[in-house]
Amino acid sequence: MNLPHARDLGSDDIARTRLHVQPPTGWLNDPNGACRIDGVYHVFYQHNPAGPDHSNIHWGHASSPDLIHWTEEPIALTPTPGSIDEQGCWSGCIVDDGGVPTAVYTAVHDGPHNAVVGLARSDRTLRRWLQDPVGKIGNPDDPSIAEVRDPFLFTHGGKRYAVQGAGHPYGSPQLLLYSCDDLESWTYLGPLLTIDDPIAASVAPANIWECPNIFQLGDSWVIILSLWRQIDAYHQLFGVRYLVGDLVGSDGDELGFVARAGGTVDDGDTFYAPQALVEPDRVLLWGWAWEGPHRSAAQIQEAGWAGVLTFPRELMLDGDVLVSRPATELSGLRTELLEPDEDGTISAHTFEIVASGPVELVLADPTTGFRDQVVRTNGPGRILVDGSIIEAFGDGASTTTRHYPTATSRWQITSSADYQVWTLN
């Protein structure tokens, strides 16, 4: 089923997306298992098919031949009663393990304090999965580590390793390192990175580092971390940071990461838990865009859905600064030029603004007088809008946010620079 076609026919909710990965109903959070198998892109995601809340977590699945046309696939991983993942199949990655696509994920038995690494294997279509009932590794024997999750695999020096986010709700974060050439046999090698690294301490303060990614860009290594913090009796998600540096050492427990710079991956208010797909010539990244402060819990329940994946974006280094831009293929979504009204007003559902200088996007409702600045680029940039998700790119920075159009609201563009507006389809 092609996702945009299904939504055009089946939904009159103008806040829903038409071009992004988003299940028909229910909850979506972290992107998982981003991979390209036999020329087909696959992206999975945390999914509760029963309702718009974070519980009963499965792995949803969408595939694409070209990053433009997405097909909703059958649910991939399902919590199994009485097994290691009976409370949820949480985040992880997929590797092509000797010709066998293998999901390496966080299997939650009775809470995040008792999670293990689970494996599930598929054929080359990635539509039929066999989940292993035995966990491969759990928490290390370290009282400073209460929770471990979100395995991400990488290779270095011809060997395969995994990192996991870790920490303690009332302690400090760590990034743990394992060797796993054989996915049935994992060896804990200790922390790859701790908050003792001064740049990590400055850029990425947290109690737990979640959803780690590690990959090479040029001669540098990049680590991406999502920040989980305990605030009084509640936890809060504090955005996504990157570190640029070097992997030092040659092997095993001698391997470490030394940061030399860092910053924010996306400065929007609804971006979290991204996952990278490392290709031979580029690195792609998807993030989770949650429902923001402009939509209430009651509105979410009434709509019956929550969460959407961002468009894929390409990552690059400008010196030691991580920059991003929309994936090259997304220009293929442009269909025709749209002429705004004299005041910059347009009424399209999906569109892209391409500006030669700073540009501002506002959501306004002339019937109520409501007016809200959505996003602004500081220089030449692009703004992509699809329903309620807005992704802006300018000067290498990205901003992801959520704002909810209504039947009477209109988008309004303000810019002293030259710009074009393209409808997307």
How far are the Cα atoms of 265, 414, 419 from residue 353, in angstroms, in the given order?
22, 11, 7
Calpha distance 2→9 (Å, rounded): 11
Alpha-carbon distance 411 to 347, whole Å? 6
* Residue positions annotated with a catalytic role: 30
Which is nearest to 209 in space by CA: 241, 183, 246? 241
What separation in angstroms does the CA of 52 have from each of 238, 298, 311, 336, 382?
21, 11, 21, 35, 31
Q: DSSP label at 183?
A: T
In terms of Cα–Cα distance, which of 202, 208, 263 is closest to 231? Answer: 208
Of the candidates 331, 288, 326, the residue with the CA atom closest to the CA atom of residue 424: 331
Collapse the DSSP code of 370 into the 3-class scheme (helix H, G, I; strand E, B; otherwise coil) and give the result.
Answer: strand
Q: Which of 281, 36, 88, 247 is nearest to 161 (CA)?
A: 247
Residue 354 half-sphere exposure toward CB, CA atoms < 13 A? 13
For the stretch 197-202, contacts whose Cβ atoms lie closer than 8 Å and that sit 24 or more positions apart, written own/partner, are 197/243, 197/257, 197/258, 197/259, 199/243, 199/245, 199/259, 199/260, 199/261, 199/262, 200/243, 200/259, 200/262, 202/262
